[in-house]
Amino acid sequence: MTRVFSVVVVLTLGGTAVAAQQAPTPAPRLASGKPDLNGVWRVPYVPDMTKNGRDQKGAAELPYTPAGLAEWKAYDASNGDYTGSCLPFGLTRAVNSPFPIQFLQSDSTFAFLFETNTWFHTVPIDGRPLPRDPDPTWFGTSVGRWNGDTLVVETAGFNGYTKLDTIGHPHTDALHLVQTFRRTDVDHIAYTVTVDDREMYTRPWTNERTFTRMDGPLIEYSCMENNKDLREGHIKMWTLPAPKQKKP
């Protein structure tokens, strides 16, 4: 598979420079006519979701609730971050990681294959609603629908044990995510993720970035294979938090 780049060719005709720019190759489509998101994609590393993944500039303060700000200030990875124990990153932190992701798409299903820890996450994209009371999981429960040429994936039902990103922005089990995927040309997907968790943030907020098509398959990734920091006691083993008290 050959990657296609935009090329600028400068021609000199009678002393006049003429720039001709090759147009990007249009995004492919499935037989159904829907945009084809299949492929292996290089994703930008986004350790801090206050910064957009395209340039990692423009840090912004998140709209914390008092509880969210207290949770953010109290976070200390040295006390035993769950990823150091090779537990699932959670959906946003897995997409934020600097390792490729493969998308598998049919007319009915969209799947994430993460190189990170060889995880996967499947999404029905037939327009069904989110289940009313999904079982809480590390990656949540997702459903998808098409909005024109944009795939919209909604996710809820998180267990609340994960962080949004590497530096520890918080969320609860009330987190609701909306991700969008729009293939702008053969080599790029425009991606956004909107975080809505009214216990931690006063309003929804969005991070955006661009995925780039890459050659080659995913490779095997095993977190525990060489996890000397955990085995040799350099970091603390993560333990399950105490259950939160239900509000009356």
Whole-model pTM over 0.75: yes
The domain locations on the chain are 39-231
Nearest alpha-carbon partner for 22 in 41, 40, 9: 9
Give per-residue pLDDT as tens, 131-165.
Answer: 999 999 999 999 999 999 999 999 999 999 999 99
pLDDT tens-place string over residues 83-130: 888 899 999 999 999 999 999 999 999 999 999 999 999 999 999 999
DSSP 83-127: GGGT----HHHHHHSSS-EEEEE-SSEEEEEESGGG-EEEEE-S-
Amino acid type, 101:
I
